[in-house]
């Protein structure tokens, strides 16, 4: 009983809230850890930058919706999007609207868990792949069982940090953000100089010119790249789950949502991906176990860490043969960034679980707080186990890694689309309703997220090879989690006697009773 009386501590200012959101996006790390997934998209690798740009537009439309809801409901606590979904309906005057509050928050909570819990597992897999690449650089080969062991150990380490509380997590996030930004921006500058000076006398570049990097080449390829690219942009909304620990949530949470996305997406990733793509040429070589060789973007698609290979190539050419040391330094900063990202994802995921458990929409133990650290510790350790299992799947091959990545992204698009829709529901008919902020922007965000969701399935299944197989894996994960969620909702409703969508008469009785 003592644990349930423990409350979260308000320790975060604007900087703390913003850097925790930034840590989930990781300003640079995803250039290293997702480049292979993006390059392996059959026939669509050349639309990588335009895909990120399209995803960024949708992310900004969604971010504005999150920001408006956070400003309207600063008391959201750990619930974030889950809380917004319910309050948007409960605050309506008519019972015919209020009755949809529970189903709205169920769909939001389900999507948020698919997003954050699978996302944490994706990060665990990527850390294991990164460690494997670093060991391989020293001619030490890690077998698949050893890679799985690395994933499990990493998940446990992150769990220990998460249990100790958000303040320690914030300090880690600040340090990691600074280090990785300096590292990856430095690499990007070197990459551009490498292309301009051409010290290796390359003759075949992945892109013929700078504009060719940025311009779209194929609409379907750009859309599918966007469905992958959303992974490197998500996280701005995670600050909304920190309202319970923010000193001034009404002021700081809305600002943090936008600031995090500006820093990570607009400033970091567009520049870094431009530089990396601009530098890919036939001098980037991948040698298979059978001695066969691939070049340029094909090499990037085959390598476990193509940015590591490119860093080494550029370092050797530009820094007097010191490419190996440069690659190791960048790899270490990326590893730190993945740690921060995994930690931020875990912090956000368990706080939504905590809010749902407090609301009796998830098992009660997930709503317990640690007596000393005031963190949802039981939820943390359950998520550690889930993330370790998902990470173990992700290290098997690039298809499995892409599959769990797309599953997380499906959850992202569903969550983001719902939030855009609920923004309109919340504000329409109120005095503070603004046509642009509360109707046009959310509507465009909803359309964009629906388009991305359709693209994952339609284009993914229609593209042979890795894309199609990975999409099938993602759909199985999504369907499985959806089935479990619906089963629990129905079972819990029968057990508690609470209707999923109560009749209008019942809602009127509740209003009259109050």
CB atoms inside a 10 Å sphere around CB 399: 17
Which tens digit of pLDDT belongs to each residue from 5-24?
Answer: 455 567 677 877 887 777 66
CB atoms inside a 10 Å sphere around CB 10: 14
Indicate the class that CATH gives domain 2-481.
mainly alpha
Which tens digit of pLDDT belongs to each residue from 394-412?
Answer: 999 888 988 998 899 899 9
**Quick one: average pLDDT of 259-270?**
86
Which candidate, 149, 121, 122, places its Cα nearest to that of 135?
149
Give the span between the Cα atoms of 91 and 427, in whole angstroms. Answer: 10
508, pLDDT greater than 70: no
Which candidate, 1, 2, 7, places its Cα nearest to that of 354?
7
Cβ distance 155 to 388 under 8 Å? yes
Which candidate, 14, 60, 21, 86, places its Cα nearest to that of 437?
60
Which tens digit of pLDDT belongs to each residue from 490-502?
Answer: 998 998 888 888 8
Q: What is the pLDDT of residue 251?
A: 85
What's the token pair of residue 360?
């009796």
Q: What is the pLDDT of residue 1?
A: 34
Which tens digit of pLDDT belongs to each residue from 431-485?
Answer: 889 999 999 999 999 999 998 888 888 887 877 777 788 999 999 999 999 999 9
Which tens digit of pLDDT belongs to each residue from 302-361?
Answer: 888 899 999 999 999 999 899 999 999 888 888 888 887 888 788 888 888 888 888 888
Q: Output the pTM of the full model.
A: 0.85
Give the span between the Cα atoms of 200 and 125, in whole angstroms. Answer: 34
Sequential DSSP letters for 284-351: -EEE-TTS-EEEHHHHHHHSS-HHHHHHHHHHHHHTTT-HHHHHHHHHHHHHHHHHHHHHHHHHHHHH
Give the span between the Cα atoms of 329 and 21, in whole angstroms. Answer: 25
- Tokens 């707080």, residue located: 369
DSSP-based three-state secondary structure for 281: strand
Give the span between the Cα atoms of 511 and 424, in whole angstroms. Answer: 23
Q: 231-261: b or e for each residue (b if 16 or more CB lie within 10 Å)?
A: bbbbbbbbbbbbbbbbeebeebbbbbbbbbb
Q: What is the pLDDT of residue 3?
A: 41
Cβ distance 258 to 63 under 8 Å? yes
Give the span between the Cα atoms of 438 and 333, in whole angstroms. Answer: 40
Q: What is the pLDDT of residue 121?
A: 94
What's the token pair of residue 103?
């189903």
What letter would DSSP give residue 436?
I
What's the token pair of residue 78?
């750990």
Per-residue confidence band for 96, with pLDDT thresholds at 50, 70 and 90: confident
79, pLDDT greater than 80: no
What's the token pair of residue 445?
């965000």
Which candidate, 303, 264, 250, places its Cα nearest to that of 280?
303
């Amino acid at each position: 009983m003592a644990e349930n009386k423990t409350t979260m501590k308000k320790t975060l200012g604007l900087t703390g809230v913003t850097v925790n959101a930034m840590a989930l996006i990781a300003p640079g790390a995803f250039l290293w850890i997702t480049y292979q997934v993006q390059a392996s998209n059959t026939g669509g690798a050349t639309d990588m930058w335009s895909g990120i740009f399209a995803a960024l537009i949708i992310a900004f439309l969604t971010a504005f919706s999150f920001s408006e809801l956070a400003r309207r409901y600063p008391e959201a606590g750990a619930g974030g999007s889950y809380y917004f979904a319910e309050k948007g309906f409960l605050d309506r005057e008519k019972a015919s609207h209020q009755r949809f509050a529970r189903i709205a928050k169920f769909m939001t909570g389900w999507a948020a868990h698919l997003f954050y819990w699978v996302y944490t597992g994706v990060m665990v897999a990527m850390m294991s792949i990164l460690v494997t690449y670093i060991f391989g650089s020293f001619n030490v080969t890690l077998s698949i069982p050893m890679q799985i062991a690395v994933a499990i150990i990493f998940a446990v380490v992150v769990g220990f940090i998460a249990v100790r509380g958000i303040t320690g997590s914030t300090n880690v996030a600040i340090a990691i953000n600074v280090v990785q930004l300096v590292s990856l921006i430095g690499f990007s500058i070197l990459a551009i100089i490498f292309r301009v000076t051409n010290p290796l006398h390359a003759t075949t570049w992945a892109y013929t010119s700078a504009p060719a990097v940025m311009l779209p080449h194929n609409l379907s390829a750009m859309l599918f790249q966007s469905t992958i690219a959303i992974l490197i942009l998500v996280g701005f909304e995670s600050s909304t789950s920190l309202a319970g620990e923010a000193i001034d949530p009404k002021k700081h949470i809305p600002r943090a949502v936008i600031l995090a996305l500006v820093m990570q997406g607009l400033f970091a990733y567009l520049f870094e991906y431009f530089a990396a793509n601009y530098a890919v040429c036939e001098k980037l070589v991948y040698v298979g176990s059978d001695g066969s060789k691939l070049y340029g973007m094909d090499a990037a698609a085959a390598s476990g860490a193509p940015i590591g290979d490119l860093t080494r190539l550029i370092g050797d050419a530009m820094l007097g043969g010191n490419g190996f040391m440069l690659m190791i330094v960048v790899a270490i900063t990326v590893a730190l960034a993945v740690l921060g990202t995994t930690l931020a994802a875990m912090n956000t995921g368990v706080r939504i679980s905590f809010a749902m458990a407090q609301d009796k929409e998830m098992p009660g133990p997930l709503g317990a707080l640690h007596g000393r650290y005031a963190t949802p510790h039981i939820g943390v350790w359950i998520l550690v186990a889930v993330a370790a299992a998902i990470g173990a799947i992700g290290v098997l091959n690039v298809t499995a890694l892409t599959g769990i990545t797309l599953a997380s992204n499906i959850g992202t698009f569903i969550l983001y689309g719902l939030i855009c829709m609920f923004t309109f529901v919340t504000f329409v008919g109120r005095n503070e309703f603004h046509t642009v902020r509360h109707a046009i922007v959310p509507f465009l965000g909803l359309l964009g997220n629906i388009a991305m969701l359709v693209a994952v399935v339609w284009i993914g299944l229609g593209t042979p090879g890795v894309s199609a197989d990975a999409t099938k894996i993602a759909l199985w994960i999504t369907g499985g989690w959806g089935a479990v969620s619906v089963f629990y909702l129905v079972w819990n409703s029968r057990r508690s006697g609470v209707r999923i969508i109560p009749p209008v008469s019942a809602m009127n009785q509740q209003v009259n009773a109050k």
